[in-house]
Chain A
Amino acid sequence: MLCDVCKVETASVFLTQIVEGKMQKVNMCEACSKEKGVSDPTGFALADLLLGMGAAQPVERSAAEGNRCPKCGFTHSEFTKTGRLGCSVCYSTFSEGLEGMLKGMHKGMRHTGKCPERLQRSLALENEVRTLTQELRSAVEGERYEEAAALRDKIKTLESENLKAAGAGEK
């Protein structure tokens, strides 16, 4: 069996992760499993997993262990014991079981309070880009090319701003 990441070496580490309720299997070679900076975007969750658990640890998981947080390795039985979760990703890992619990605990099921300003800014930017993209489309359809070019430039600037803002949040 070939490594899913490099597709060259033979896989020796086998991972099972739950993504949005679906089980995914990832097979890797020794070198890739230790590599921390996986840049392949499809390897994103995988990279998180490795970073979260520490690459030095053996990361073999059997499918039988199923309900385990791909980010932090937390299990549902652990939650039953302590009533506390393992990491923020656990909320999506165990979302099914949590829903009923949250319903009984709280006034509502949707957060309506404070939202981090950085996130708000990037949401606002996304909205603006969406609007401008629609305008761009109608400008192209209407063959108003000068306007379209200006809009395209504006969108590009906004998108790079958003990337920068998101980058600042990482550490």
Chain B
Amino acid sequence: MPTRNILSKGGDWFGGEGPHHQIVVSSRVRLARNLSGKPFPGWAKKVERSAILDLIRPQVEGLPEMSEASSVSCQDLSALEKQVLVERHLISREHAAKGLGSAVVMNRRQTLSIMINEEDHLRMQALRSGLQLRAAFKAINKVDTELEEKLDFAFDSKLGYLTACPSNVGTGMRASAMLHVPALVLSDQINQVVQAVNKIGLAVRGLYGEGTEALGNLFQISNQTTLGEREEEILERLQKVILQVIEHEQNARKTLLQNRPNTLLDHIGRSYGILRHAYSMNSKEALNLLSLAKLGCDLGFYPDNQRRAVDELFMETQPAHLQKGSQKKLATEERDILRSDIIRKKLETFSAPDVDGVMRRGKEGSGAPADPDSAPGTRGQAPFSE
């Protein structure tokens, strides 16, 4: 069954490639669309919802992008399978709670996923690794243009695309990027950055964890408003701010390396020791230590060919991904043991941090090996503007 195949392997978007991939893990653009005059999924009766699904699904499956897709009804997915899809960002938590009358269609590379009867009739998203908001938009916009020839979307000349929640009306577009910013967290600058980004109408939230707690130093930045600006304007605004956050993170890394090398070395060294020698680890600890290992790769403490293992572990140590290889349901302690086993095994040949090399290169004046795509630059602390 194709869905099982899709579950067995991670998606192409999590490959650790693309522009600014050291700091921007992935980019995502989703569009919300609804059929004109049909009740939204949350208000539709069961029969109506199924009828809407039957109307939309063949059109989605018939898209050229979905020639090798897996299309699956929500009621046919186990709780674990749904959770795996949530961890891969292929479906939302809300969609995982759906059953009869809802479905998801995903392409084989897992770069496109279309949820049918989530909060809106259609939630379509494109995922890319690195900072590729425009490429993601282009891909999903093409899908939308193809579908609108076949389906009658609810559109108002004044309000744009009409959505179940007024917060999505207009473009129906939510664009977001997942950023890995350990140095901003280590140097206590993250709150300042979050506030500045919020102030200009973009949302920032920790990727995992509740509320303000951000695990693995991963944050998601997205547009908050959908009405009154063109899609390109929204993307442009978001892109600009993300580039500024990247620059801040790079400056914070340089500053740490130059001014507080012992703090940094202590973090890197401890994370190496614990990851390689622990025998029980919860998901929170794993994410935070893996974040430091990832930072170590970026700063040149580890050779570049070790990066992939670290990136993969971010996904493989998530609760549902851990669980999916086991036949029986694991208790929390069993999961923590299994998690540390997987990490130790994967990092078996991982070399120790090359402290001397990094410090030597730092003294030679070139600074830390920085992301080659980005402009260096030494701006002040609050250059957030639009």
Chain A residues near B (Cβ < 8 Å)? 48, 52, 54, 71-72, 74, 78, 82-89, 91, 98, 101-102, 105-119, 169-171
Contact = CB atoms under 8 A, between A and B. Distances in A.
A16 B165 CA distance: 26
B230 A113 contact: yes
Interface in B228-252: 228-231
A81 B149 CA distance: 35
Interface of B: 34, 36-40, 42-43, 45, 55, 119, 141, 144-145, 148-149, 152-162, 164-167, 169-171, 173, 201, 225-231
A101 B154 contact: no
Contact of A108 (B36, B144, B229): B229
Q: Most chain-A CB neighbours within 10 Å: which of B36, B145, B158, B162?
A: B162
A106 B226 contact: yes
A114 B162 contact: no
B148 A118 contact: yes
Nearest to A91: B162
Contacts of A98: 166
Q: Most chain-B CB neighbours within 10 Å: which of A71, A86, A105?
A: A105
Interface SS of chain A = loop
A59 to B, nearest CB: 15
Interface SS of chain B = loop
Contact of A87 (B38, B159, B160, B170): B38
Given A52-B39, A84-B165, A116-B153, 7 more contacts: A52-B37, A74-B39, A84-B42, A87-B43, A88-B156, A115-B160, A117-B145
20 contacts: A72-B39, A78-B43, A83-B166, A84-B165, A86-B43, A88-B37, A88-B156, A89-B37, A91-B162, A106-B170, A106-B228, A107-B225, A107-B228, A109-B227, A112-B228, A112-B230, A113-B170, A114-B171, A115-B157, A117-B148
A88 B162 contact: yes
Contacts of B39: 52, 72, 74, 86-87
Given A74-B43, A170-B152, A171-B152, A111 B170 contact: yes
B170 to A, nearest CB: 5
Contacts of B38: 87-88
